Structure 1
Amino acid sequence: MHIFGKILGTFFGFLFGGLFGAVFGLFLGHQFDKARRLQQAGFRSSPFGGGPSQAQRQEEFFKAAFAVMGHVAKAKGQVTKEEIQLASTMMDRMNLHGELRTAAQEAFREGKSSDFPLDDVLARVKISSGGRFDLLQFFLELQISAAFADGSLHPSERDVLHRIAEKLGFSAQQLEQRLRMQEAAFRFQHGGFGGQGGQQQSGSWQQAPSANQLSDAYKVLGVDEDTDSKVLKRAYRKLMNEHHPDKLMAKGLPPEMMNVAKEKSQEIQNAYDLIKKVKGFK
């Protein structure tokens, strides 16, 4: 617990200003403790202007992503070996080695602490991303993907994801839609369409898809099954534009996360191609 600043602030505030001074000292101490927590989580503050560089913003985004993953994993109580393995799998997907992997592991552990300043970290994420919708959406979807990596979502994880979405500026309805899309994406990938890393498995396109697989393909794109070809194409283009790896990189996505962005784009492409093939759309 970070309470050292509060104790000192209250003590000296009361010493020099009585009750009013103690209250003011408590406030200053709280700000000091909060700054220490953020610093330990790998965030830099720039109170006197001259904001962080692009590289610093990318570093903050990267560390925050794994710290919040740790916080989501802890939502169910004790973090299990399976959840630690899920974090390792995410690091593998990003090809993290050496210092970068160590930084991700340390951030994940920081997120599991009982006094992890989730709201403050998410506020910093909005700053480091410049408030860009595509980057914030990627951050949220990264948390959803990690939570869904074992194929299920615990109610406590859902509650934390709602809090994360709210702090990033997404509505409850927007989060629930993304949860449905991710759940469908998990089934779609494990049903032979896309496979690990977004690569098509051998022979997967020769097999006739089931009704459930086709239904999941529509859900991956966030559209209804009776959607016509024009609406389907608009939804596909919108998602591809939002998740295009090069565009995300240009907006500040950490380069270590490029592979995950590529996988997401391939997932969207696979779902669209399957629907076109089955429905005969051009």
Structure 2
Amino acid sequence: MIASGLPNDWFKLCLGLLIMVAAPLFGRRLAQVVDPRSADAAAHRRRKAQRKARQKYIAENRQQIGFQYFKSTFLFAGHIAAADGTVCDSEKRLFDDFCARLQLDKAQIDAAQDYFQQGHSPDFSPTAAIDEFVSQCGMVPSLCESFLQMQFAFVEASGTVVAAEWGIVEMLSKRLRAESIYADALEEYRQSAALHAHARARARQQTHKRERDKQRFQAEKTKIEGENNNQQSKNQRDQQRETLTPAQRELRLAFAVLGLPPTRDKTAIKRAYRLQIKRHHPDYLLANGYPESLLAEATARSVKINQAYRLLKDRLKFR
């Protein structure tokens, strides 16, 4: 009887111990499910722990956090200011205003200017810079928000938003997990950047059109001036021709028959005469297969050459 009842007793004993151990745990878990206030309390405890950890981190790293905030703010301010290619006067005034609001002394202003200039540099890496900022200041939401607001101010300083500026603040917002907070502003910047890009494209097209029109006008002007110069030269030649006496015109025509410009070089005149008379002499032409039907024209040409040569000999007094 005892042997047969022992297993049942052991089973009851084990079951009782299990209930004693599991009941408190199960009860707390059930209480959390049934009573939502316990879940809120747990979340509150987590937030409190995070707040304490943040306060401890700030207390232990206050100087590094402040330096990183200062450095990153002016690095990205310079990067955004130069994103459109130039730093305008309004952006320079905003820089001075930030320095005044932060109550910086001369040494700090010089350092801010150095960081601002570094942001212009092609070697500046915005990804590395924001990673460094997040590692130091990411646990301080108020600093992250202030940092973003200052960058948004530089985007708006020039009055126009370009695509590069919008891309920078969008990257910063995503990296700081604030894109949902600034979604409206980012969308407005995106639309403004698109409109600005469209306007710049139209301006470039108009500039190119003006340049083409200017070049076309210049080409037409050059052509007209060339034609005018040619006409003036022709008129001058005509005037000179009109002022020549009959004897001068006759002499110039004689030179033209010999294929010479006006000259007093007797040797050149004789050489030109021999060359022309040889080319147009009937015997020379017949020997070279010239048609007999055209010999009359060649003979007339030879007569003109001889007349021109005799005229030049008489006028220039040589034999």
Question: What is the TM-score of this pair, normalised by structure 2?
Answer: 0.37
Which protein has the larger Cα radius of gyration, Structure 1 or Structure 2?
Answer: 2
Higher helix share: 2
> Could you say which structure has the greater relative contact order, defined with CA pairs below 8 angstroms and 6 or more residues apart?
1
Question: What is the TM-score of this pair, normalised by structure 1?
Answer: 0.41
